[in-house]
């Protein structure tokens, strides 16, 4: 293959030139080379160099630098506004724990650095004048749409178990196949993922689930996901025995996921977990299978899973609530939409509508029509916003001190009365006006 031309952005090019002017070698490497050859915009530009970290620091002494991972030889340099991760050529020592090399040895040749990288498509380096260094058939695998380990797949996974999840993550994001030998090793070694830090797993899983190939990968490699989300296993093949469904629980989840528009993480997680509580809630009678309470059971399970994977609180709270609400009937009327707006932020209401739409459309024929409420509810929500109508204590025309001024004692009584007033306002029984509300409060005292 002819060497491709890669337009290295000016700041990265200048960093390479600077390192070389100081007598070192430097290349753009990894994800950026892969993405540019694929015609995609890279997330960031990484540089690999023969300079040791302290030498790199000296070369960029006049720039802002962050010691990202000095131990692993990485220094982040801010070059004309562009953060560049500059890493010294490394060859990893022996891996004793399926996670970390026992030692990091700096190397003197780019070949050694490329050999320690995970997949052929991630193991290419590019130099603005010397061109592409592709020692493991990375371009061929890119052209074939294939994820393939550098070297023996099993050995590479035994060195670092996270690579198992990274393999299927890249297959999802790039919509690639997995080479047969790599595929066999993934299945054989998948349990090594149980040694890997939750944060590292979460990061790869989030990228996987937002990838274009997510549904296919989650179907083909559910056993890999089950290593860190064992709650999923009972869903796979779980027959629903109801006329409303034509898929088993896991396939229904995947069919729903296939219908999600966009890449929003919370929506995708919400869909992925929406029915995870079903197997635990299953009951059967003469009319068939039922899953009463699976929304709340699923929400509780989702909370457990997301805590374990160390998701941040905001994301967890939002996804758990979406799972809990996914099968609640919401009337397209101002009073129920106001209640919904009290329970969650507007963005989550839109996410909930999308989850409900996808869930519904993945039902059996005849039961797969999304209800018109899914369009009505966001419209009503916008009207409530435009009118600035009251749906929370914050926007109620009276507050705690108003109640105290008419003699309500400090404490629980205040909360009770404010709650009752808010309910009455939401239900349209009282206008949100101070005097009327205070009159009503006097009667409630
Ligand atoms: P993304 O676009 O998602 O950031 P990336 O290829 O840049 O993709 P990173 O996780 O940022 O992926 O890693 C940068 C590079 O470091 C990879 O391209 C790969 O060469 C190497 N790498 C990262 N993690 C590992 C690992 N666990 N084992 C071996 N090499 C790795
Ligand atoms: Mg990267």
- Residue 213 near ligand 1, beta carbon < 6 Å: no
Quote the distance between the C-alpha of residue 95 and its chain's center: 29
DSSP string, 281-329: H-EEETTEEE-TTHHHHHHHHHHHHHHHTT--HHHHHHHHHHHHHTT--
The pLDDT profile of the chain, 445 residues, written as one tens digit per residue, is: 677 899 999 999 999 999 999 999 999 999 999 999 999 999 999 999 999 999 999 999 999 998 888 778 899 999 999 999 999 999 887 787 888 887 788 999 999 999 999 999 999 999 999 999 999 999 999 999 999 999 999 999 999 999 999 999 999 999 999 999 999 999 999 999 999 999 999 999 999 999 999 999 999 999 999 999 999 999 999 999 999 999 999 999 999 999 999 999 999 999 999 999 999 999 999 999 999 999 999 999 999 999 999 999 999 999 999 999 999 999 999 999 999 999 999 999 999 999 999 999 999 999 999 999 999 999 999 999 999 899 999 999 999 999 999 999 988 999 999 999 999 999 999 999 999 999 999 998 8
Q: Which ligand 1 atom is at minimum distance from the Cα of 169?
A: 3
Output the pLDDT for position 1.
66
Closest CA to ligand 1's atom 10: 31
| Alpha carbon distance 56, 70 (integer Å) | 11
SS (H, E, C) 147-187: ECECCCHHHHHHHCCHHHHHHHHHHHHCCCEECHHHHHHHH
10: left (phi over 0), alpha (psi -120 to 50) or beta: alpha
* Residue among 341, 431, 384, 401 at smallest CA distance from 417: 401
Q: What CA–CA distances, in Å, run from 155 to 105, 164, 178, 186?
A: 19, 11, 17, 11
- Ligand 1 atom nearest to CA at 34: 6
Q: At what angle do helices 334-343 and 346-361 cross, to 10 degrees?
A: 110
Among residues 430, 439, 347, which one has the least CA distance to residue 396?
430
Q: What DSSP designation does 107 have?
A: -
Q: Does residue 348 have its Cβ closer than 6 Å to ligand 1?
A: no
Confidence (pLDDT) at 183: 98
Phi-psi region of 145 (alpha: psi -120 to 50; beta: other; left: phi over 0): left
Question: Ligand 2: distance of its center to the CA of 31 in Å?
Answer: 6
Q: What is the pLDDT of residue 445?
A: 82
Q: Does ligand 1 have an atom closer than 6 angstroms to the CB of 351?
A: no
Global pTM exceeds 0.85: yes
- The values of phi and psi at residue 200, to 5°, are -70, -40
Q: Is 41 in the pocket of ligand 1 (CB under 6 A)?
A: no
């Amino acid at each position: 293959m002819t060497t491709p031309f890669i337009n290295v952005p000016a700041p990265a090019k200048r960093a390479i030139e600077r390192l070389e002017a100081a007598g070192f070698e430097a290349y753009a490497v990894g994800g950026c080379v892969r993405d540019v050859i694929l015609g995609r915009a890279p997330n960031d530009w990484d540089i690999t160099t023969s300079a040791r970290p302290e030498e790199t620091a000296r070369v960029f002494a006049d720039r802002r630098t962050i010691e990202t991972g000095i131990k692993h030889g990485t220094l982040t340099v801010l070059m004309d506004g562009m953060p560049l991760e500059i890493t010294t050529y490394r060859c990893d020592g022996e891996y004793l724990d399926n996670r970390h090399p026992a030692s990091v040895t700096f190397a003197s040749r780019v070949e050694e650095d490329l050999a320690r990288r995970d997949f052929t498509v991630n193991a290419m380096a590019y130099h603005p004048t010397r061109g592409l260094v592709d020692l493991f058939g990375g371009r061929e695998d890119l052209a074939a749409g294939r994820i393939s380990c550098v070297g023996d797949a099993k050995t590479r996974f035994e060195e670092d178990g996270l690579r198992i999840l990274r393999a299927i993550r890249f297959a999802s994001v790039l919509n690639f196949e997995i080479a047969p030998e790599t595929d066999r090793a993934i299945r054989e070694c998948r349990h090594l993922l149980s040694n890997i830090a939750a944060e590292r797993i979460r990061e790869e899983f989030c990228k996987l689930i937002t990838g274009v190939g997510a549904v296919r990968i989650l179907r083909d490699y559910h056993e890999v996901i089950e290593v860190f989300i064992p709650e999923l296993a009972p869903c796979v093949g779980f027959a629903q025995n109801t006329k409303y469904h034509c898929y088993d629980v896991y396939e229904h989840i995947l069919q729903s996921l296939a219908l999600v528009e966009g890449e929003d993480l919370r929506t995708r997680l919400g869909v992925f977990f929406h029915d995870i509580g079903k197997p635990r809630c299953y009951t059967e009678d003469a009319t068939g299978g039922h899953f009463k309470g699976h929304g709340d059971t699923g929400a509780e399970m989702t909370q457990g899973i997301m805590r374990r994977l160390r998701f941040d609180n905001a994301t967890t709270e939002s996804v758990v609530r979406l799972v809990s609400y996914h099968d609640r009937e919401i009337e397209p009327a101002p009073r129920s939409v106001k209640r919904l707006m009290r329970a969650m932020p507007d963005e989550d209401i839109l996410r909930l509508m999308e989850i409900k739409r996808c869930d519904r459309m993945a039902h059996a024929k005849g039961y797969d029509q999304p209800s018109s409420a899914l369009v009505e509810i966001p419209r009503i929500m916008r009207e409530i916003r435009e009118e600035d109508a009251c749906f929370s204590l914050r926007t109620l025309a009276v507050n705690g001190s108003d109640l105290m001024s008419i003699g309500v004692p400090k404490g629980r009584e205040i909360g009770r009365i404010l709650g009752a007033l808010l309910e009455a306002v939401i239900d349209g029984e009282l206008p949100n006006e101070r005097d009327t509300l205070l009159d009503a409060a006097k009667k409630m005292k």
